[in-house]
Amino acid sequence: MLLSGWGRFPRADCRVLRPANAAAVPDVLAGQGAAIARGMGRSYGDSALNPAAVIDMRGLSRLLAFDPETGLLEAEAGVVLGDIIAVFLPRGWFPPVTPGTRFVTLGGMIAADVHGKNHHGAGSIGSHIAWLDLLGADGEVRRCSPTENAELFTLTIGGMGLTGMILRCALRLMPVASGWIRQTQIAAPDLDAALAVFEANMASPYSVAWIDCLATGKALGRSLITLGDHAAPDDLPAERRAQPFAVPARRRLSVPIDAPGWALNGISVKAFNALYHARGLSALGERLVSWDSYFYPLDAVLHWNRIYGRQGFAQFQCVLPLATSRAGLQALLEAISAAGTGSFLAVLKRMGPQESALSFPMEGYTLALDFPARARPLALLERLDRIVLDHGGRFYLAKDSRMKADVLHASDPRAAAFRERREALGLVRHFSSLQSERLGL
């Protein structure tokens, strides 16, 4: 069947195999050449595409065990994050790390080593995985943890599914006292002010900024920074304290058809950015918001990827070291504004320190941008790649759909070491994706 990532670019005809449960995965995998696991298809590019064999892991959807004393949840890899929240938030537990959508599987989260608005304090999801069970090409299932098969554990977290099939795992949930978030929104008139807000609020559990990537001159980098923390019952209005986990359901919208290609252009994006900034200025200060609207604003719009039209879009996400973040961000924003090809989904976050085999984060700032998959924006992205390289940054494989192998390897020496270990362990010929082939992983 024709498959793509969430960006709908690129697309590929893939042979899809659907094991009904964990016990069926070894038989499905046996006799295949190279294969790749796929969950909800929310990585943006080609990391879950393989024309020879895509293993759809959504049949592995059971919650296996939970310890209410420690918050340790054992679950199969195809369990969807939103289902975990639905079951455990009413019991006072929440994922310790979440990406910007709840429509992802546990296996996919581990493979991409997802991060959230709290990376500066909580790290990525791999920091909260106690163990995982990994099916190898030899049909053996290995329990991997920081103390058991430790190298394979490290390679798998952030390894984009290239070390085997994750069957189940143990995730440490964190206790929360309500389903509400104490949100503070702050306007920053320029890039320096935005970075100053982040640095002054490192104690805030969550922080994220929308950044106007088409602003120029003195307004370059103007942003709306949103801080957050889980609210206690005493923070809630009196009428909500008796049921602190009951939050009103959000109205769901949907994009029913592909938008025409001409609808998203420099003029429309600039107009959107101006309106979004003005609306944000009217909502400054503190207020209570639901967990759903704080963590997953885009989940309220089903099929929002259709706004980019049939050609799809490419997401660009880089992280710059703390020492070069200011200069690198300025150079990126100047290049984007000069090109007039902006992104209305432009997100800036502060990252904390992290060391791993291939995971994306490093201490500094990460910028994520969406661009239509058309010739002019794609040419701009190649210029942005070079700016990132010049400032010592690297790129997020879960968002990548078009990077060249030389760019990846120049930005991240770990990529060559990862490939060498895959070869030494005999994994290259058994687990691969269009992305791994394109990037030499």
Task: Give pLDDT tens digits for 25-42.
Answer: 999 998 788 999 999 999
Residue 48 lies in a domain: no
Q: What are the Cα distances from residue 106, in Å, to 27, 111, 242, 325?
A: 22, 9, 32, 31
Cβ atoms of 346 and 269 closer than 8 Å: no
Tell whether the model's pLDDT for residue 391 goes beyond 90. Answer: yes
Task: Give pLDDT tens digits for 15-28.
Answer: 999 999 999 999 99
Tell whether the model's pLDDT for residue 434 goes beyond 70. Answer: yes
Task: Give pLDDT tens digits for 95-105.
Answer: 999 999 999 99
Task: Give pLDDT tens digits for 202-222.
Answer: 999 999 999 998 888 999 999
Q: Strand, helix or coil at 141?
A: strand
Give the total number of structural domains in the chain: 2
Cβ atoms of 302 and 252 closer than 8 Å: yes
Same domain? For 101 and 199 the reply is no
Confidence (pLDDT) at 263: 66
Same domain? For 116 and 225 the reply is no
Residue 160 lies in a domain: yes
User: Mean pLDDT, to the nearest integer, of 420-435?
Assistant: 96
pLDDT band at 196 (very low <50, low <70, confident <90, very high): very high
Same domain? For 171 and 187 the reply is no
- State the residue range of the domain holding 311: 180-404
Same domain? For 120 and 242 the reply is no
Q: Where are the alpha helices (DSSP H) in 282-404?
A: 291-295, 325-339, 375-390
Same domain? For 132 and 188 the reply is no
Same domain? For 157 and 198 the reply is no
CA 383/CA 336 separation, integer angstroms: 9
* CATH number reported for the structural domain that contains residue 144 in this entry: 3.30.465.10
Q: Where are the alpha helices (DSSP H) in 117-234?
A: 119-122, 150-156, 191-200
Same domain? For 69 and 118 the reply is yes
Last residue of a domain, one of 156, 176, 196: 176
The CB-side HSE value for 440 (13 A sphere, CA atoms) comes to: 15
* CATH number reported for the structural domain that contains residue 219 in this entry: 3.40.462.10
Instruction: Tell which residue, 189, 183, 215, has the closest CA to residue 344.
Output: 215
Cβ atoms of 36 and 48 closer than 8 Å: yes
Same domain? For 93 and 184 the reply is no
Task: Give pLDDT tens digits for 281-298.
Answer: 777 999 999 999 999 999
Question: Where are any strands of DSSP class E within 212-352?
Answer: 223-230, 253-254, 285-290, 301-302, 313-321, 347-351
Confidence (pLDDT) at 31: 79
Beta strands 54-56 and 16-17 are parallel
Same domain? For 266 and 378 the reply is yes
Same domain? For 168 and 186 the reply is no
User: In DSSP terms, which residues pair with 209 in a beta bridge?
Assistant: 225, 348
Cα angle 128, 131, 135; round to 5: 130
CA 214/CA 273 separation, integer angstroms: 8
